[in-house]
Amino acid sequence: MLILLILTALLSGSSAFIAPHTTPLTAFATSKNAKQATSLRVLPESVMLGGPEAAQSYFFLWFFGGSGGAGVALRQFPQQLEKFNGLRAMSADGPTKGGETVGISKLCLYPRDICKADLAKVLSNKLSVEKMVEKGPKPNYLSTKGYLCFESFAEANKGCNPLTVRAVFDALSTGDIVAPDVAQLKLDSFSNEQSPDYSVFKSELLKTKLAGFSSIAFLLFLLGPIVGSTCLESFALGWFPETLGKWYS
């Protein structure tokens, strides 16, 4: 009798080590749960739970916000083209001492290289940034508050090669205005450089140029897919929850 009870306990306990039988229904439920666990959703959970009304509001928010960001990026292209045409016009203007060139990177998209003698003349200007701002024109609000604009910098370097003046200012800022302390710090580092090939200047010029180009690329190629996928998903869930919305539910 004791042996029979022991055998019964062992047989009942061994069921814990046997894999449960899988039916088509349980297999479907498992695959559905796995699909839901691995599905990628762009919309936050609060919008998903809020129903079509929440998705519609989220769509309008991202659609108009994304359009504004894309518009800012697209407006940069004509501005960059205008700036490039201005550089081409400068390449043949003004006096130049000629001689050996600096060797700026082609990624800066300048129409030609600049001469070391022309660069040395600009960097030898002893006028402080504060004085440049004080004596120069003030075409915008920030320039009246002490910021250095390109017009003031060009006025302070009259008689220098125009393309070289533009290149030095481009090494200070990605635009046409720069904070006075930043400008003074960079100009001092350029003028005090001991390297004969102006490596500090070339490095800063390339850095600011790439920063300007990358900001446009960021808006177009990074924000574009994010805004597009968010608008697409919120549109499907907001207006077609029973058809297209099921792809995201």
Domain map (residue ranges) of the chain: 50-223
Token output for 75: 């407006």
Say how many C-beta atoms besides its own lie within 10 A of residue 47's C-beta.
Answer: 22
pLDDT digits (tens, 9 = 90+) for 197-213: 999 999 999 999 988 77
**In the prediction, which pLDDT does 21 show?**
46
**In the prediction, which pLDDT does 222 show?**
62
pLDDT digits (tens, 9 = 90+) for 31-74: 444 444 344 566 777 777 787 888 788 878 877 776 666 666 55
Phi-psi region of 115 (alpha: psi -120 to 50; beta: other; left: phi over 0): beta
Predicted TM-score (pTM) of the model is 0.62
Q: Among 134-143, 152-161, 233-242, which stretch is predicted with the lowest mean pLDDT?
A: 233-242
Q: Among 28-42, 68-82, 92-106, 120-134, which stretch is predicted with the lowest mean pLDDT?
A: 28-42
C-alpha span between 43 and 41 (Å, rounded): 6
- Residue-averaged pLDDT of the chain: 79
Number of helical H runs and strand E runs in the chain: 11, 2
**In the prediction, which pLDDT does 220 show?**
65
pLDDT digits (tens, 9 = 90+) for 179-237: 999 999 999 999 999 888 999 999 999 999 988 776 666 666 666 677 778 878 888 88
